[in-house]
Amino acid sequence: MAYAKNEIERLNLLVDKVMNLAMYNEGVSKINKEDIDIDNIITDLINLHQMANSKTITLQYENKSRESHLIADKIQFQHAINNVLDNAIKYSAADTNIKITVEKQRNYMVIKLKDNGIGIAEKETLMVFDKFYRVSTKNSHPVKGYGLGLNYVKKIMQQHSGWYKIESKLGAGTTLILGWPL
């Protein structure tokens, strides 16, 4: 029963993602900024993924900042973190670690998601935020997807006047960094 509930939640998030991406592209999406507790949101997402995931992946979370509040659209924040976390899980092997850290850097709350998955070739790191772009895995790591997730994250970060960055090395994992303005 818990698995079915998690699958329904995952499908709802996917539908929301597609609908919101369509609205962003049409210029009709608006954001509802509010004071959100990022510790609670990230912890809830970690718990959701740990219950639904069949791989033995350790998800670690550390807030190095003394702050856990941010002014942002709660739903969009959840979607951005969920997309990045989902990718980290999908592109990592079993028995691996994914680390999420939060720290304050100047006027930004910086959230880093680091995995030790298959990594991305340097020439592809600039393209992963393009709509419908999928990293070539040469069938060595079959992962389902549509190439919408990171484009959606990019749109969310742009709407929040934030920034995004990816650091990756093929075969050595990926770190995706999101800078949310304070």
pLDDT digits (tens, 9 = 90+) for 25-38: 655 468 899 999 99
Place of tokens 């659209």: 73
CB 180 within 8 A of CB 102: no
Which residues have CB under 8 Å from 108's CB, separation 6+? Answer: 162, 163, 179, 180, 181, 182
Looking only at the bridges linking them, the beta strands covering 57-63 and 96-105 are: parallel
Distance CA(35)–CA(67), nearest Å, equals 12
The fold for domain 2-181 equals Heat Shock Protein 90 (3.30.565)
Q: Is the pLDDT of residue 16 over 70?
A: no
pLDDT digits (tens, 9 = 90+) for 166-181: 999 988 899 999 999 9
99-108, 130-139, 172-181: the lowest-pLDDT one = 130-139
How is residue 157 written in tokens? 């970060």
Q: What is the pTM of this model?
A: 0.83
For the chain, what are the domain ranges? 2-181
Phi and psi, residue 83, nearest 5°: -60, -45
User: How many other CB atoms are there within 10 angstroms of residue 56's CB atom?
Assistant: 10
Strands (E), the chain: 33-37, 57-63, 69-73, 96-105, 108-115, 163-168, 174-181
What average pLDDT does this structure show over 112-140?
81
pLDDT given at position 38: 97
Q: Please, which residues bridge with residue 113 across strands?
A: 100, 176
Distance CA(125)–CA(27), nearest Å, equals 26
Distances (CA, A) of 177 to 22, 32, 143, 165: 24, 23, 22, 5
What average pLDDT does this structure show over 113-134?
85
pLDDT digits (tens, 9 = 90+) for 30-87: 889 999 999 999 999 999 887 767 678 889 999 999 899 999 999 999 999 999 998 8
